[in-house]
Amino acid sequence: MKLLVTGGAGFIGSNFIHYWLKHYPEDSIVNLDKLTYAGHLSSLKDVSENSRYKFVKGDICSQKLTDSLMVDVDTVVHFAAESHVDRSILHPSEFVRSNVLGTQVLLESALKNKVKRFHLISTDEVFGSLPLNSRTKFSESTPYDPKSPYSASKSAADHLVRAYFHTFGLPITITNCSNNFGPYQNPEKFIPRMITNLILNQKIPIYGDGKNVRDWLYVEDHCWAIDLIVHNGRPGQTYCIGGQKKEFSNFEIAQKIIKLMGMDKSMLEFVADRPSHDRRYAVNWSKVHRELGWSPAKNFDDRLKSTVEWYSNNKWWWMPLKKQAESIYRK
């Protein structure tokens, strides 16, 4: 397979490139990334010399560039996006540009070049928020109800991708996944922010009452789900991907991290809540399990432990990013 991966210098994209090069020795990857604040070539240091991997610095909104990159490609895996909710509250227009316009530009190129599969990485945040203490979960049939500029822009992208399937017959698939965690995640996001703050002996800020719930998906499990769907998922279909069977609040996750790092609760600090903070996300991933045999390979506590270890052992990667990551929260 010849793949075009967009946003491959970001968190999930870089993990995906590592995963794919390891599992598919016959395949080659072109990684198109603009290298925004969230893109780091350091995340791809160990594959940069691989003859099956090529990096192109550029914007997914440039039609000329995306047309030319897709000439010799059969599969597009589209990760590139502005991805951080807190930033979308500060700068919504960048989210519309990259997430909506950028996706449409890629779809046009995919159509012109007759790619065999266009796969969009989307989010469970398009479905809005679930109440606490309910058993309801998001599934492929949940109506869209985005609440932040980020989730609204991702919703628009999902609709465009489906429209290119219905209108033009482009063979697309979409995954709506829950919150990922693991190596190479920017320290502005919850789990790496908690771990890296504690390594630096700084308090960890919990928004609001700390009762918000996310469904944590280990990034390598997510990459395996994308692999199964790109190879065997049905064109036109959406698959929801989630991580957990048991739910934990942000407060409980913070406590687990504190314990794993041998510290105590005095490191916790409750801070002002995020505006329009979605209360609970939970994903029903029975479709991908039933159709393609996917389920998370290990439990959450094991994955959290290895994530803490990764950040402890890879300060060279996150230390240069930490100052900028914290500066967004001072605004």
**Binding partner of 212, given ligand TYD, ligand NAD, none, CB within 5-8 angstroms per partner class:** ligand TYD
Shortest gap between Cβ of 24 and ligand TYD (angstroms)?
30
Residue with tokens 């990159």: 69
Supply the angle between the helices 315-327 and 190-199 in degrees, to the nearest 10. Answer: 110
Residue 15: name the closest of 173, 155, 186, 175 by CA.
186
* Out of 5, 69, 102, 307, the residue judged to bind ligand NAD by CB under 6 A: 102
The amino acid that residue 28 corresponds to is S
Q: Per the structure block, which two tokens stand in for 124?
A: 């469970």
Query: Is 124 considered catalytic here?
Result: yes
Residue 83 contacts ligand NAD per CB under 6 A: yes
Residue 96 phi, psi (nearest 5): -70, -40
Q: Are the CB atoms for 23 and 59 separated by under 8 Å?
A: no
For ligand NAD, the closer of residues 98 and 142 by Cβ is 98
Q: Which two tokens stand for residue 192?
A: 């790496």
Residues between 155 and 184 with contacts to ligand TYD, criterion CB under 6 A: 179
Work out the number of other CB atoms within 10 angstroms of the CB of residue 129: 19
Determine, following the binding rule CB under 6 A, whether residue 95 of this chain makes contact with ligand TYD: no
186 binds, among ligand NAD, ligand TYD, none (CB under 5 to 8 A by kind): ligand NAD
Candidates 150, 164, 184, 311; catalytic one: 150
Look up residue 212 and give its DSSP letter.
-
Q: Which residues contact 319 (CB under 8 A, 6 or more apart)?
A: none
85 binds, options ligand NAD, ligand TYD, none, Cβ within 5 to 8 A by partner type: ligand TYD
Calpha distance 78→94 (Å, rounded): 17
Q: Least distance to ligand NAD from the beta carbon of 266, Å?
A: 29
Which residue in the shown chain puts its C-beta closest to ligand NAD? 10
Q: Does 34 bind ligand NAD (CB under 6 A)?
A: yes
For residue 121, the one-letter residue type is I
Name the E strands within the chain: 2-6, 28-33, 53-57, 75-78, 117-123, 172-177, 180-181, 204-207, 213-214, 217-218, 238-241, 248-249, 268-271
> Could you say which residues in the range 180-239 bind ligand TYD, by CB under 6 A?
189-190, 193, 205-207, 212, 214
Question: Does the annotation mark 150 as catalytic?
Answer: yes
Note if 239 is an active site residue. no
Any contact of residue 13 with ligand NAD (CB under 6 A)?
A: yes
Give residues in contact with ligand NAD (CB under 6 A): 6-7, 9-13, 33-36, 38-39, 59-61, 79-83, 98, 102, 121, 123, 154, 177, 179-180, 186
Which residues are known catalytic residues?
Answer: 124-125, 150
Give residues in contact with ligand TYD (CB under 6 A): 85, 179, 189-190, 193, 205-207, 212, 214, 250
